[in-house]
């Protein structure tokens, strides 16, 4: 019988009206049911030997038993017993790209010409779907989405046996939408580095990348949460761009947007964290080594309603739909906003990197990787350097310097002090004192080089004498040395007081030369 099952009072009306000679068409119009349904009821009543009026012993239960204990036969279609479709298989087929319920119905009828009608087919499938869990009920196209999140629970890890120091490890969970194939990894925290590193490991585990990643609104992923247009954190966006993946953040306070991974988190807590509750770990690597076989067992567990496992579903439906991973592995990098100083250098962690001098005072974006530092202005890269870890040093490229500075580009502190040594011990001592007095040693290179070059004009002997006089008078600048030479003070004997008085040391009332730098 097509459509929804008739209520028993409708069946009694069909039998009553037919007994009075009313045609099937008229009965159909009076009761608002299909003529085929009317014919089916009358055919079943005839096979059961029922006629109107029914006896008083014929209640609704007895009437239903008499009519539907075996299928009626149709003179046109033969047996009316319908072949039941494989609803679990149909549900899984719907996960394949471009597959629709209408297409699957056509394939069903091609195999079973006397099967269910389309409306009944759809109705029965919806009934099967309602029996599934909420996450199984969702229809995700294969290769479309990867859902990611951190589990609520943590695992204690003993990092110092002697002191008994314990650190809590976080649990990262990823689930593919179509197959629910699950990846679990322990990390030390939920920072951007942990977040990105775990997802890179998940993509390597799957052997490909989906079209979209669906995270929640954690700060490691989303810079600014919004119901309509979330702002993706710069480093996370850089990671997604490397793999050619779009980031579709779940809407705030909309847990159904990431119900797939919520279910994965629950499974991870039940089948992984619960099984590890009595074990003790002394490193993150040891914890992850214990997690891997449990993840494998979880993925091979049979899903009762679908009668298949996540691993089997991944292999048959989803693996081939994932896009290949990039040839070059992802290199983690952080972004920061900086401003170019007046010396055309950018301060990154206490080390100074040059940019072209025309960008003085510009606000730039800096991408900091393990080995490189890249500087961008309005999306265009203006400088790139190998990363250095020494604080207080400068890394300068010649082409970034103005013309007047390039004359000094080939000089280093070592070369300058070596040249001063050749002139004499007083000049060498003065140059070293100038360099050491500066906050950044490179800032003392230019005045020291200027002092050394005074030997070309005045000779090494006079420069050595001027340097001795400057040391004894506590003078530490190029201008002072030049003034001594221009005024021939180097050729005059030092006053006794100057010769005997040591250089003035630090004092709370004396600003010192560094005050002016």
Model pLDDT for residues 228-243, shown as the tens digit of each residue:
444 677 888 888 889 9
Decide if 155 contacts 269 (C-beta within 8 A).
Answer: no
Transcribe 258-320 into DSSP letters: GHHHHHHHHHHIIIIITTTTT--BSSHHHHHHHHHHHHHHHHHSEETTTTEEHHHHIIIIIGG
Question: 165 lies in a domain?
Answer: yes
Note whether 196 and 256 are same-domain residues.
Answer: yes
- The Cα 412–Cα 445 span in angstroms is 8
Provide mean pLDDT across the span 153-172.
86
Query: Does the pTM of the predicted model rise above 0.75?
Result: no
Residue 453: closest CA among 511, 497, 500, 411? 411
Decide if 135 contacts 263 (C-beta within 8 A).
Answer: yes
Cis peptide before 253 (omega within 30 of 0): no
Note whether 173 and 304 are same-domain residues.
Answer: yes
Where among 403, 433, 454 does a domain terminate?
A: 403
Note whether 28 and 171 are same-domain residues.
Answer: no
Confidence band (pLDDT; 50, 70, 90) for 75?
very low
- The Cα 363–Cα 245 span in angstroms is 29
- pLDDT score of 77 more than 80: no
Instruction: Let me know how many helices (H) and strands (E) the chain has, helices first.
Output: 20, 18
Higher pLDDT, 124 or 171: 171
Note whether 195 and 178 are same-domain residues.
Answer: yes
Residue 434: closest CA among 412, 453, 449? 449
Question: 375 lies in a domain?
Answer: yes
Note whether 168 and 229 are same-domain residues.
Answer: yes
> Could you give the strand order of the β-sheet that contains 394-395, starting from the edge strand earlier in sequence?
345-348, 351-354, 394-395
Question: 3 lies in a domain?
Answer: no
Phi-psi category of 392—alpha, beta or left, where left has phi over 0 and alpha has psi -120 to 50?
Answer: left
Provide mean pLDDT across the span 471-480.
88
Confidence band (pLDDT; 50, 70, 90) for 405?
low
Q: Which domain holds residue 262?
A: 145-321
- Which pLDDT score, from 0 to 100, does residue 228 have? 42
Confidence band (pLDDT; 50, 70, 90) for 138?
low
Question: 337 lies in a domain?
Answer: yes
Provide mean pLDDT across the span 170-197.
90
Phi, psi of 350, deg, nearest 5: 90, -5
Confidence band (pLDDT; 50, 70, 90) for 355?
very high
Decide if 45 contacts 64 (C-beta within 8 A).
Answer: no
Note whether 291 and 156 are same-domain residues.
Answer: yes
Question: 467 lies in a domain?
Answer: yes
- pLDDT score of 76 more than 50: no
Residue position matching structure tokens 């790139």: 384
- Which pLDDT score, from 0 to 100, does residue 262 have? 73
- pLDDT score of 79 more than 70: no
- The Cα 382–Cα 451 span in angstroms is 34
- Which pLDDT score, from 0 to 100, does residue 110 have? 81
Phi, psi of 316, deg, nearest 5: -85, -30
Note whether 122 and 216 are same-domain residues.
Answer: no
Mean model confidence pLDDT for the chain: 80
Note whether 122 and 34 are same-domain residues.
Answer: no
- The Cα 189–Cα 147 span in angstroms is 19
Q: Quick one: tokens of 360?
A: 């003085």
For residue 254, the number of C-alpha atoms closer than 13 Å in the C-beta half-sphere is 14
pLDDT digits (tens, 9 = 90+) for 256-268: 555 555 777 888 8
- pLDDT score of 346 more than 50: yes
Question: 137 lies in a domain?
Answer: no
- pLDDT score of 321 more than 50: yes
- Which pLDDT score, from 0 to 100, does residue 299 have? 92
Note whether 440 and 317 are same-domain residues.
Answer: no
- Out of 20-34, 127-141, 338-352, 439-453, pick the least confident: 127-141
């Amino acid at each position: 019988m097509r459509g929804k099952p008739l209520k028993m009072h409708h069946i009694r009306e069909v039998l009553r009206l037919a007994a009075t000679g009313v045609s099937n068409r008229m009965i159909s119009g009076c009761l608002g049911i299909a003529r085929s349904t009317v014919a089916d009821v009358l055919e079943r009543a005839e096979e059961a030997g029922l006629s109107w009026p029914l006896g008083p012993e014929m209640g609704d239960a007895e009437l239903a038993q008499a009519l539907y204990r075996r299928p009626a036969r149709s003179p046109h279609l033969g047996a009316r017993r319908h072949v039941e479709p494989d609803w679990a298989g149909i549900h899984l087929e719907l996960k394949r790209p471009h597959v629709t319920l209408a297409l699957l119905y056509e394939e069903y009828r091609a195999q079973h010409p006397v099967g269910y009608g389309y409306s009944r087919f759809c109705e029965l499938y919806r009934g099967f779907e309602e029996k599934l869990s909420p996450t199984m009920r969702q229809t995700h196209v294969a290769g479309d989405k990867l859902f990611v999140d951190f589990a609520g629970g943590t695992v204690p890890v003993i990092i110092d046996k002697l002191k008994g120091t314990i650190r809590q490890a976080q649990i990262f969970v990823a689930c593919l939408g179509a197959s629910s194939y699950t990846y679990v990894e322990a990390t030390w925290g939920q920072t951007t580095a942990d977040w990105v590193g775990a997802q890179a490991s998940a993509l390597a585990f799957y052997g490909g990348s989906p079209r979209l990643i669906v995270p929640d609104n954690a700060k490691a992923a989303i810079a600014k949460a919004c119901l309509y247009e979330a702002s993706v954190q710069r480093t996370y966006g850089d990671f997604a761009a490397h793999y050619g993946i779009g980031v579709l953040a779940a809407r705030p306070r909309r847990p159904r947007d990431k119900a797939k991974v919520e279910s994965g988190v629950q499974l991870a807590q039940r089948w992984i964290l619960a099984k590890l509750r009595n074990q003790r770990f002394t490193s993150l690597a040891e914890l992850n080594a214990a997690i891997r076989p449990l993840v494998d067992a979880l993925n091979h567990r049979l899903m009762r309603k679908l009668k298949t496992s996540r691993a089997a579903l991944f292999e048959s439906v989803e693996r081939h739909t994932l896009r290949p991973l990039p040839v070059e592995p992802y290199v983690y990098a952080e972004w920061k906003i900086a401003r170019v100083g007046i010396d055309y250098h950018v301060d990154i962690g206490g080390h100074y990197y040059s940019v072209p001098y025309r960008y003085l005072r510009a606000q730039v974006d800096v991408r900091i990787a393990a080995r490189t530092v890249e500087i961008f202005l309005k999306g265009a890269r203006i400088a790139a350097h190998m990363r250095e870890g020494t604080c207080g040093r400068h890394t300068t490229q010649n082409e970034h310097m103005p013309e007047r500075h390039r004359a000094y580009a080939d000089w280093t502190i070592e070369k300058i002090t070596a040249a001063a040594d050749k002139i004499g011990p007083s000049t060498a001592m003065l140059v070293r004192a100038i360099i050491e007095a500066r906050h950044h040693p490179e800032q003392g290179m230019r005045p020291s080089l200027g002092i050394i070059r005074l030997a070309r004009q005045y000779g090494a002997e006079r420069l050595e004498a001027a340097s001795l006089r400057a040391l004894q008078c506590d003078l530490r600048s190029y201008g002072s040395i030049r003034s001594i030479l221009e005024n021939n003070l180097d050729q005059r004997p030092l006053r006794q007081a100057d010769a005997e008085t040591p250089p003035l040391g630090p004092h709370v009332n004396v600003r010192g030369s560094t005050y002016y730098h």
